């Protein structure tokens, strides 16, 4: 009986990919790319960067596939790689921001221009930007927990496993993140 790639487990697909089956690589990519992209986009706040980082994640994962333990969930392993790529991106971004400080202030006036919209839509977009900005401004440890629990809707146990921390640490970080978000957004978003 031949294994249908769409029915195969991640561990089976990984084994086939290690054996040289390109279609198994493709099947793993198709199966997990949307979740990885959502995680990366939420972590970086930049859709264009998220595409590049998602691609880097899969390149790194497929390069390290021989080290994947088939007894562990592939999605968790892949998310760990994605978060590491996001951390690398954040470090590079911090270095690049030092160089941007040397630019004249006038050069930083390239804001997104919104076409005139109804007041309600503009307000909703403004609130969404404020929330995204507030999440992006959280310390990395709090931002990652927030994204995995609130955006990706992973369980506390899955989040703990991906981040390599205890479930209690997840709970504590999520509590702190919510408190910081509430404090940071209290003056920005009013109902």
Q: What is the average pLDDT across 62-86?
A: 92
| Nearest Cα to Cα of residue 164 among 148, 186, 188 | 148
Give residue 113's Cα distance to chain centre. 26
User: For 129, how many CA atoms within 13 A lie in the half-sphere containing its CB?
Assistant: 9
Residues in the chain: 191
- The answer to whether 158 and 77 are in contact (CB under 8 A) is no
Indicate the pLDDT class of residue 124, thresholds 50, 70 and 90: low
The stretch 23-37 carries a mean pLDDT of 93
Which band of pLDDT confidence, cut at 50, 70 and 90, is reported for residue 119? Answer: low
Question: Nearest CA to 43 among 170, 135, 180?
Answer: 135
**The whole model's pTM is what?**
0.62
Tokens standing for 186?
Answer: 């209290």
- Backbone Cα Rg of the chain: 20
The per-residue pLDDT for 64 is 93
Spatial contact of 27 and 6, defined as CB atoms under 8 Å apart: yes
Q: Which stretches within the chain are classed as H helix?
A: 10-18, 22-44, 47-63, 74-100, 119-137, 140-146, 156-163, 167-185
Looking at the chain, the whole-number percentage of residues with pLDDT higher than 90 is 41
Per-residue confidence (pLDDT) for residue 188, from 0 to 100 = 60
SS3 label, residue 4: coil
Q: What is the pLDDT of residues 144-186, one digit of tens each?
A: 998 888 888 888 999 999 999 999 999 999 999 888 888 887 7
- The closest alpha carbon to 155, from 145, 142, 141, 164, belongs to 145
Cβ neighbourhood burial of 173 (10 Å; 0-12, 13-18, 19+): buried
**Domains of the chain as residue ranges with CATH:** 8-103 (1.10.1740.10), 119-191 (1.10.10.10)
């Amino acid at each position: 009986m031949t294994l249908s790639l769409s029915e195969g487990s991640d561990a089976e697909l990984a084994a086939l990919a290690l054996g040289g089956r390109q279609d198994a690589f493709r099947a793993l990519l198709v199966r997990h790319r949307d979740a990885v992209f959502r995680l990366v986009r939420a972590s970086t706040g930049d859709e264009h960067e998220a595409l590049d980082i998602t691609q880097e994640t899969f390149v790194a994962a497929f390069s390290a596939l021989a080290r994947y333990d088939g007894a562990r969930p592939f999605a968790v392993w892949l998310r760990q790689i994605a978060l590491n790529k996001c951390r690398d991106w954040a470090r590079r971004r911090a270095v690049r921001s030092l160089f941007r400080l040397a630019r004249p202030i006038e050069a930083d006036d390239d804001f997104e221009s919104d076409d005139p919209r109804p007041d309600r839509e503009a307000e909703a977009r403004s609130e969404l930007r404020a929330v995204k900005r507030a999440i992006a401004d959280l310390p990395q440890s709090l931002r990652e927990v927030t994204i995995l629990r609130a955006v990706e809707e992973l369980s506390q146990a899955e989040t703990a496993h991906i981040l390599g921390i205890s479930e209690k640490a997840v709970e504590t970080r999520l509590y702190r993140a919510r408190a910081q978000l509430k404090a940071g957004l209290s003056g920005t978003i009013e109902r």
